[in-house]
Amino acid sequence: MDKLHLNRMQFYGYHGVFPEENKLGQRFYVDLVLSLDLSEAGRTDDLTKTVNYAEVYQLVKQIVEGRAYRLIEALAENIASDVLHQYTSVNDVTVRVVKPHPPFDIHYDGVVVELTRKRAMA
């Protein structure tokens, strides 16, 4: 299966358990890996034979910048679900959500949730 990567998309959201996270918000980074057959798009140079990544970006933006989630696990789950629902040519999707500045008194390079969801077989 071929893969389409959308790396390090940046959004501003209000996700977190603590009230200050919901009030102040912060930047989040999202990476997607979409598994789908890209052979026809490659042969024909036809945008309708692939996934328009500008549209995928807008979908993810609406999710991240819309409703506030307590957990980035829930945020990632909703991104995966909506991508699979919206783009039927995608067989599976890996979503990686990075929260670079969690509100802890520990110095490290953020918190990351990564999950992979596959299309249910009919």
CATH number at residue 60: 3.30.1130.10
* Nearest-angstrom CA–CA distance, 67 and 1: 33
Structure confidence at residue 107 (pLDDT) = 65
Q: How far is the CA of 34 from the CAs of 2, 56, 96, in angstroms? A: 8, 10, 12
Which range has the top average pLDDT, 14-23, 40-49, 100-109, 112-121? 40-49
CB 4 within 8 A of CB 51: yes
Closest CA to 38 of 30, 47, 29: 47
Q: How far apart are the first and last CA of the chain?
A: 19
pLDDT in tens, 29-45: 999 999 999 999 999 99
pLDDT in tens, 53-111: 999 999 999 999 999 999 999 999 999 999 999 999 999 999 999 998 877 766 677 88
- Domain that includes residue 99, residue range: 2-118
* Nearest-angstrom CA–CA distance, 106 and 12: 22
Structure confidence at residue 122 (pLDDT) = 62
The number of distinct structural domains making up the chain is 1
Active site (catalytic) residues: 99
